Amino acid sequence: MHTQIDPLLASVSAVIPVFNEVENLKLAWEELRDVLESTGRSFEVLFVDDGSSDGSRDVLYQLAEDDRVKLVLLRRNFGQTAAMHAGIQHANNDYIVTLDGDLQNDPAGVPDMLQKLDEGYDLVHGWRKSRQDKLISRKLPSWMANKLISRVTGFPINDLGCTLKAIKSEVAKDIELYGEMHRFIPILANNLGARCYEMEVNHRSRRFGESKYGIGRSIRVLLDLITIQYMTKYFSSPMKFFGMFGFIVGVLSVASSMASIVMKLGWQFDLTGNPLTFLAIVCAILSIQFFSIGLIGELSVRIYYSTGTKQSFQVRQFVNLDNASDNEPGSVDISNPPTQKRVPAKAVESA
């Protein structure tokens, strides 16, 4: 029996990316369901299967017998960011809660997060202050990355890697996610003018399965940090970034040329053997290249803003999703999934 829903409270969509978590899914749903029911809010839970191969999809079909469970089944493994983006874009409710499907994110903190959104914040992100992970492979690299990112971006944060977040839907849907940008959601939201709040949340040890991420992820985080900095400051006008370098090396080229000419006229230095001559030529070429890249970047930005939205994922099948309609490109109604398992009503599959 469902708890009575308060129509005055904002509704909630929980988004859970899934990749080979067959042992955790039922427990994750039951735990999250009980927490969300206790809030008295209308809710849905979107499981986004990111190409699982361990039977996770069969479990998800069973969970979808409850129409509050929505499924977005991707064609292959596109990565956590793409899965997160797919879930957010197909969420229907006022608030969006994101969390992992491995049971390490304790949903007990979700009601307090939702309360903060009610108070006027746009995004509440979790801080796993007492993180239950391995020190060398997980906690130490994460701590170093968080310190570096906080210093470079100027955004005060203790735990960018915590998936547990609560976001107002209009903010979440405006955040562009690709690559591995899901961990930068608070920074991206802050760049959009969102009011952000960091809250301590409970973190638990993994009970079943193995982590899909290791120490090698830290390198990708650092590369993404460079991208974030560029996108934050210079995305809308790349000429300001590349033009600055072009101007500097251009001035250096002129100065080197003038020095070479003075040395030739005053001291009869050979221009062809003067290193300043070569420096002037190299700097002139670099200056032209930087300005050219800036112009190409400006053109790319104009093209980007004039074209339609691009997606970093492809959906094979929707289950129980009302907003996955027949007018989506390449969508057709189905009555059974490819595995011949029974699918609940309201299922749509992309050709």
Q: For residue 349, which of 92, 74, 15, 52 has the smallest C-alpha distance? A: 74
Amino acid 209: pLDDT: 59
Please name which of 5, 32, 199, 16 lies closest in space to residue 117, comparing C-alpha atoms: 199
CATH class label, 12-234+312-350: alpha beta
2 has pLDDT over 60: no
pLDDT by residue (tens digit) across 160-174? 778 899 999 999 998
Q: pLDDT averaged over the chain?
A: 81
d(C-alpha 36, C-alpha 253), whole Å: 65
- Report pLDDT for 213: 52
Angle between helix 239-267 and helix 217-234 axes, rounded to 10 deg = 80
Specify the residue for token string 């899914």.
Answer: 25
133-157 per-position pLDDT tens digit: 665 656 666 677 777 777 777 787 7
More confident residue, 10 or 176: 10
The confidence band for 303, taking pLDDT boundaries of 50, 70 and 90, is confident
- Give the residue-averaged pLDDT of 19-25: 91
> What does the pLDDT read at residue 217?
60
**What mean pLDDT is predicted for residues 22-38?**
93
Q: Is the dihedral of CA 297, 299, 302, 305 positive or negative?
A: negative
Q: Residue 41: pLDDT above 90?
A: yes
- Rounded CA-CA distance 307/251 in Å is 37
pLDDT at 343 over 50: no
Single pTM value for the model: 0.72
Pairwise CA distance, residues 341 & 30, whole Å: 22
Please determine, for residue 87, whether its predicted confidence score (pLDDT) is greater than 70: yes
Average pLDDT over residues 232-238: 76
Name the amino acid, one letter, at 31.
E
pLDDT of res. 333:
35
pLDDT at 337 > cutoff 50: no
C-alpha 230: how far from chain center:
16
Task: Select the more confidently predicted residue: 210 or 241.
Answer: 241
Mean pLDDT of 268-275: 79
Write the DSSP symbol of residue 203: B
Domain ranges of the chain: 12-234+312-350, 239-304
**Per-residue model confidence (pLDDT) at position 61:** 95
